[in-house]
Chain A
């Protein structure tokens, strides 16, 4: 009886997964909201986020800490259970995931949708050898039930992610591996079931620059090979530029800009995106003259005003109107949308060109809310 039920479920999950491949967008997120309750107050960490993932392409979710990137990623997989109120829609192909029965959802998680977390120790069980963790995933998703064959399969996966001595690693506990090695193991597990969608939450943030470059390269390769849709979460513009096809810039729980990575980073349409680019140390900028964004991103408990632009307190283009209305995400040029209608896109030239001439004055940081003197409009 229970076997019959499992088989039935398996067929259905497989069905969902197969059908997902027929859609232009493998995964569609629409008007996603995620709210937590803290000290009896409703905290909206994600507010009306929409995007779609395409097979073979990478969407980068870019934003500073606390902007809601991880919450978005985790909510897609329904990892919050009852601890968060989730609204909106998440569809794998044409299957609604937000209302899917939990037992089916388990087949989707780690099956059709793989996940690589920021800190690999979060996904790896510290008390179990790598081999047994891989064998378990393969069995759970019915890829390989035979333990010996699963181990051999696992060795192949480890080799695929660039581990040269898979047998040693299979027999190791996670703590016996370096950070880069652990992240490779986590990636191997995430791709074990050939997912349609791979979600990677800051997968290289904990790694060294040299290792980071290797791991990013691995992602790009695997994505092409498996024709996956990749959602890569990062706070690092450099990472976005390397691996991203498309980008969604997140600020205070909302998307403030979307478009193709090359286009958005070359001609940002939102002052926050432009500010992020300008803040990076770039060769040629004299010491102490970085264009910082004043203030800081809003904290977790800060009450966010619905009727105003959340970036207004830090925006150098802010005007009185920004305090009384919140611009929606609208197209600023083909295939690029920004949630700011007060700045002419041309004003936000790529970094380097926006900087005012060095005046020798101390702080380069403009006071919050002041208008730009840079001949913007």
Chain B
């Protein structure tokens, strides 16, 4: 792991006008090429944390350094150029793509908005689609004409168009069927090997996070309650909430049941 971190967020705070303290003193670090997972139950502040990091929301307090720059101080052109290096793959591609634009236009737009001219942007869009396993003909289709899995590949292509250093995946595979989810997870891993992109990977599915993440952050009621390499966390969860979370996953429940069955004499 490289010594200089890509993203360092410290003591982030966010309270919404309705009084909800969605993020309460959250700190996290992501190194280049690393995948950091965030798990936690619904409402624990995962998406809000992601939005603070993406500057889609402004933090009340705390500092965010991205590639050495003070992210919260960036304005105008500097902020735009940062957006290029920091992209998002959202949960529901069906609503994140403009229904009126073709897939190709949507992906190209992510390039033209950062100064690429239209023609090369469209050519690059087609290239990217092929890279993520979507037939180039789909560039001319509209979002509703594609399946969830295909559209999620398109969302990945759109995020990668700007050659970002960090991509935030907020429940990016949660809505997919398991057989298709495996394809998309493999694709993400492959792209990471190829481009060295880092992922901040949010999911409520512990099995998925365990599979993709180098390190995992566990959030509970807006706070980070535990953090560490996925393996350590899973083997020896220190925090009560992590234990509850782990105990609740089907695979764990099953492992306990299997152990009990194995111990019992055969029926």
Contact residues of A with B, CB < 8 Å? 64-65, 179, 208-213, 235-239, 241-242, 262, 275-276, 279-283, 285, 287-294, 296-297, 299, 314, 362-365
Residues of A within 8 A of B186 (CB): 288-290, 292, 363-365
Does residue B70 face the partner (Cβ distance < 8 Å to A)? no
Within the assembled complex, what's the spacing in Å between the Cα atoms of A287 and B249? 20
Q: A238-B254, A282-B251, A288-B185 are in contact. List 13 more A-B contacts (CB 8 A).
A: A208-B41, A209-B248, A212-B248, A213-B253, A242-B253, A281-B182, A285-B211, A288-B189, A292-B183, A293-B183, A296-B180, A362-B190, A364-B186
Residues of B within 8 A of A362 (CB): 190
Residues of A within 8 A of B177 (CB): 64-65, 235, 296-297
Residues of A within 8 A of B207 (CB): 280-282
Within the assembled complex, what's the spacing in Å between the Cα atoms of A289 and B212? 11
Residues of A within 8 A of B249 (CB): 209, 213, 238
| Min distance, Cβ A31 to any Cβ of chain B, angstroms | 27
Residues of B within 8 A of A297 (CB): 177, 179
B214-229: contact bitstring with A at CB < 8 Å (1 yes, 0 no)? 0000000000000000
Within the assembled complex, what's the spacing in Å between the Cα atoms of A294 and B150? 12
Check if A64 sits within 8 Å of B178, measured CB to CB: yes
Q: Quick one: given A213-B248, A281-B207, A283-B234, are A179 and B42 in contact (CB under 8 Å)?
A: yes
Within the assembled complex, what's the spacing in Å between the Cα atoms of A287 and B193? 10
Looking at chain B, what size class is its interface with the partner chain? 35 or more
Most B CB contacts (10 A, CB to CB) among A179, A262, A288, A289 go to A288
Q: Quick one: given A210-B244, A282-B207, A290-B186, are A239 and B250 in contact (CB under 8 Å)?
A: yes
Check if B178 sits within 8 Å of A235, measured CB to CB: yes
Residues of B within 8 A of A275 (CB): 179
* Residue of chain A at shortest CB distance from B175: A65
Within the assembled complex, what's the spacing in Å between the Cα atoms of A364 and B182? 10
How many A-B pairs with Cβ below 8 Å? 111
Residues of B within 8 A of A290 (CB): 182, 185-186, 211
Check if A241 sits within 8 Å of B254, measured CB to CB: yes
Residues of B within 8 A of A210 (CB): 41, 244-245, 248
Within the assembled complex, what's the spacing in Å between the Cα atoms of A236 and B177? 9
Check if A292 sits within 8 Å of B179, measured CB to CB: yes
8 Å CB contacts to A: which residues of B105-155? 147, 149-150
| Min distance, Cβ B257 to any Cβ of chain A, angstroms | 8
Within the assembled complex, what's the spacing in Å between the Cα atoms of A293 and B177? 11
Q: Quick one: given A208-B42, A238-B254, A362-B190, are A287 and B182 in contact (CB under 8 Å)?
A: no
Residues of B within 8 A of A211 (CB): 41
Could you name 26 residue pairs across A and B whose Cβ atoms are closer than 8 Å? A64-B179, A208-B204, A209-B206, A209-B249, A210-B248, A235-B177, A236-B250, A237-B250, A238-B251, A238-B253, A241-B250, A241-B257, A279-B181, A280-B182, A280-B207, A281-B182, A281-B185, A281-B211, A282-B207, A287-B189, A288-B190, A288-B192, A288-B193, A289-B189, A365-B183, A365-B186
A283 touches which of B42, B178, B192, B210 (Cβ 8 Å): B210
Residues of A within 8 A of B212 (CB): 281, 287
Check if B183 sits within 8 Å of A209, measured CB to CB: no
Question: 5 tightest CB-CB pairs across the interface, nearest first?
Answer: A238-B250, A288-B189, A281-B211, A292-B182, A293-B179
| Min distance, Cβ B178 to any Cβ of chain A, angstroms | 5
| Min distance, Cβ A200 to any Cβ of chain B, angstroms | 16
* Residue of chain A at shortest CB distance from B255: A283
Does residue B28 face the partner (Cβ distance < 8 Å to A)? no
Check if A281 sits within 8 Å of B179, measured CB to CB: no
Residues of B within 8 A of A179 (CB): 42
Within the assembled complex, what's the spacing in Å between the Cα atoms of A241 and B244? 19
Does residue B247 face the partner (Cβ distance < 8 Å to A)? yes
* Residue of chain A at shortest CB distance from B173: A281
Within the assembled complex, what's the spacing in Å between the Cα atoms of A64 and B261? 28
Q: Quick one: given A287-B211, A290-B211, A296-B149, are A279 and B250 in contact (CB under 8 Å)?
A: no
| Min distance, Cβ A273 to any Cβ of chain B, angstroms | 11
Residues of A within 8 A of B42 (CB): 179, 208
| Min distance, Cβ A67 to any Cβ of chain B, angstroms | 9
Within the assembled complex, what's the spacing in Å between the Cα atoms of A87 and B248? 40
Q: Quick one: given A64-B178, A292-B179, are A363 and B254 in contact (CB under 8 Å)?
A: no
Residues of B within 8 A of A238 (CB): 249-251, 253-254
| Min distance, Cβ A358 to any Cβ of chain B, angstroms | 12
| Min distance, Cβ B39 to any Cβ of chain A, angstroms | 9
Residues of B within 8 A of A235 (CB): 177-178
Residues of A within 8 A of B193 (CB): 288
B183-211: contact bitstring with A at CB < 8 Å (1 yes, 0 no)? 10110111011000000000011111011
Within the assembled complex, what's the spacing in Å between the Cα atoms of A56 and B248? 24
Residues of A within 8 A of B210 (CB): 281, 283
Residues of A within 8 A of B245 (CB): 209-210
Check if B250 sits within 8 Å of A281, measured CB to CB: no
* Residue of chain B at shortest CB distance from A63: B177
Within the assembled complex, what's the spacing in Å between the Cα atoms of A296 and B180? 6
Check if A242 sits within 8 Å of B180, measured CB to CB: no
| Min distance, Cβ A261 to any Cβ of chain B, angstroms | 11
Check if A242 sits within 8 Å of B254, measured CB to CB: yes
| Min distance, Cβ B17 to any Cβ of chain A, angstroms | 20
Check if B147 sits within 8 Å of A276, measured CB to CB: no
| Min distance, Cβ B62 to any Cβ of chain A, angstroms | 27
Check if A363 sits within 8 Å of B41, measured CB to CB: no
